[in-house]
Homo-oligomer: A and B are copies of this chain.
Amino acid sequence: MKGNLIIISAPSGTGKTTILKKLFAEVKGVTFSVSHTTRAPRAGEQDGVDYYFVDQQTFRRMRAENAFLEWAEVHGNYYGTSKKEVDRHLRQGLDVFLDIDVQGARQVREAAGRECFSIFIVPPSWEEQESRLTGRGTDSAATIRLRLQNARTEMQDADRYDYLIVNDTVEKAVDALRAIIIAERCRTRRDRDGRPIDILRNSDCGLRI
């Protein structure tokens, strides 16, 4: 049975990385899609593991061939999610996480329609988020201000998401995320007209009816 395509986004300082790390340690059958990038590999980064490192020409060709589910340019470098890469995992029955921002999420929804669902993680409050960003001790006051500003802009996209998780405590957030994964595996998939497709898809549970 095909896996689910899952968009996950969160304003910075929400704790998404911690939540995903714990989720992947707990739940079977989930994976990340490895992105393509034109950025140079950093020390320790492996091709095919951290990213697929490609040159600009290759990236542009792939983009022209509509090979990306979503792509973005950040600081002069291109990043993209290959359809082929995602599809390979889905056909193996794995749920594929796309850890992308609100703009990437819009592109994927456009391309995948009902064939994906999306999760937005929000901090319990602005105060808590600011204190988390400050607590990291890695960013300047100006950077934190910028991140908070971006977070407020990103929050305006919250209502485009299918699920909203408030990261009040990490444990509760991971539990909610895990619940969403399991629940969606039981969900009746429907086409654009609401007709069920692939009704007994979770028959790998042993259903022989």
Contact = CB atoms under 8 A, between A and B. Distances in A.
A187 interface: yes
Interface string A160-191: 11111110100010011011111111111000
Given A176-B183, A187-B163, A188-B163, A124 B206 contact: yes
A40 interface: no
Contacts of A188: 159, 161-164
Copies in the complex: 2
A29 to B, nearest CB: 14
Contacts of A160: 196
Interface residues of A, number: 42
Interface stretch (A30-38, A50-58, A95-103, A197-205): A197-205
Interface string A104-143: 0000000000000001001111110000000000000000
A207 interface: yes
Contacts of A127: 208
28 contacts: A123-B209, A124-B206, A124-B208, A125-B207, A125-B208, A126-B208, A126-B209, A127-B208, A158-B199, A158-B200, A159-B188, A162-B188, A163-B187, A164-B188, A164-B199, A164-B200, A164-B202, A166-B202, A166-B203, A166-B205, A166-B206, A166-B207, A168-B205, A168-B207, A172-B205, A176-B185, A179-B180, A182-B183
